Amino acid sequence: MSTIKACIFDLDGVIVDTAVYHYKAWKRLANELGFDFTEEANEKLKGVSRTRSLELILQWGGVTKTDAEKEELATRKNNWYVEMISHMTPEEILPGAKEFLQACIDAGIKTALGSASKNSMTILQKTGIAHFFNAVIDGNKVSKPKPDPEVFLKGAEQLNIPPANCVVFEDAIAGVEAAIAGGMKVVGIGSPEVLREANLVVKGLDEMSLEKLRSL
Ligand code: B16
Ligand code: MG
């Protein structure tokens, strides 16, 4: 057992739930292109980058687009999404997130954000939680999407903590895989049947404690 010196948190699905906003924006785009997009399909996009999400949606709709058209479509979706998250409030922080972040800080454990979203800073600012993180690594700072460990390794590097002393909190399978590939422990947020590879799975950060963290 190695000492836990840092916790790295995914954003969407762990600290806040912006999946509904992503869903509304992707659905609007799909409808404009002439096909539907279900909430079930949206589940498959959790933790997946914007570019990859668009590719999958076009594939599901049986539509082919050029690279330039894809860029325009991704921008169109993002503009709708950004408009929606600009109205986010501190009430949208998931139960237990702030309390667990504060418990980590009080215990001298460093904290970082490790998210695929290029809109992370807007979300952190609108919900008033930017000050809880010693480092923020988001979609603007990485070139390889999860399950590549780049986002978490950069977080550990910025915190100056070896990966073996870090714990990642993730709700997506690709994120759990990324943490493991980076040599870190991982707490899955969601269902144990889905996040099988995680060292521990809880329903939300309201179920986390320093005792559980130390037992990993
Ligand atoms: P953006 P996470 C991910 O956030 C979302 O789960 C995923 O649905 C989204 O496509 C991705 O961010 C990119 O977001 O379009 O804002 O750059 O779970 O890694 O915090
Ligand atoms: Mg997530």
Atom 16 of ligand 1, residue of closest alpha carbon? 117
Distance from the CA of 139 to the center of ligand 2, in angstroms?
12
Task: With a cut of 70, say whether residue 167 has pLDDT above it.
Answer: yes
The pLDDT of residue 37 is above 60 = yes
pLDDT of residue 43: 86
Q: What is the pLDDT of residues 54-94, one digit of tens each?
A: 999 999 999 999 999 999 999 999 999 999 999 999 999 99
Q: Pinpoint the alpha helices (H) of 86-161.
A: 97-106, 120-126, 150-159
Q: How confident is the model at residue 35 (pLDDT cuts 50, 70, 90)?
A: very high
Which bound ligand lies closest to the C-alpha atom of 195?
A: 2
| pLDDT over 90 (residue 161) | yes
Q: Catalytic: 17?
A: no
Q: Give residue 113's pLDDT band: very low, low, confident or very high (50, 70, 90).
A: very high
Find the mean pLDDT for residues 152-172.
97
Q: Which pLDDT belongs to residue 184?
A: 98
pLDDT at 108 over 90: yes
Q: What is the pLDDT of residue 99?
A: 98
The CA distance from 43 to 46, in Å, is 6
Spatial neighbors of 157 by CB under 8 A, at least 6 apart, are: none
> Per-residue pLDDT for 19 more than 70?
yes
Contact 170, 47 (CB under 8 A): yes
Smallest Cα–Cα separation from 117: which of 104, 106, 107, 126?
126
Which pLDDT belongs to residue 89?
Answer: 97
Q: What is the pLDDT of residue 88?
A: 97
pLDDT for 210 equals 97
- Ligand 1 center to residue 183 CA distance, Å? 23
Percent of the chain at pLDDT > 70 equals 99
| Alpha carbon distance 103, 164 (integer Å) | 21
| CA 172 to ligand 1: nearest atom | 18
pTM of the model: 0.94
Has residue 32 got a pLDDT over 90? yes
Q: Is the CB of 115 under 6 A from ligand 1?
A: yes
Average pLDDT, the chain: 96
Question: What local confidence, expressed as pLDDT, does residue 2 receive?
Answer: 63
What residue owns the CA closest to ligand 1's atom 12? 117
Active-site residue flag, 10: yes
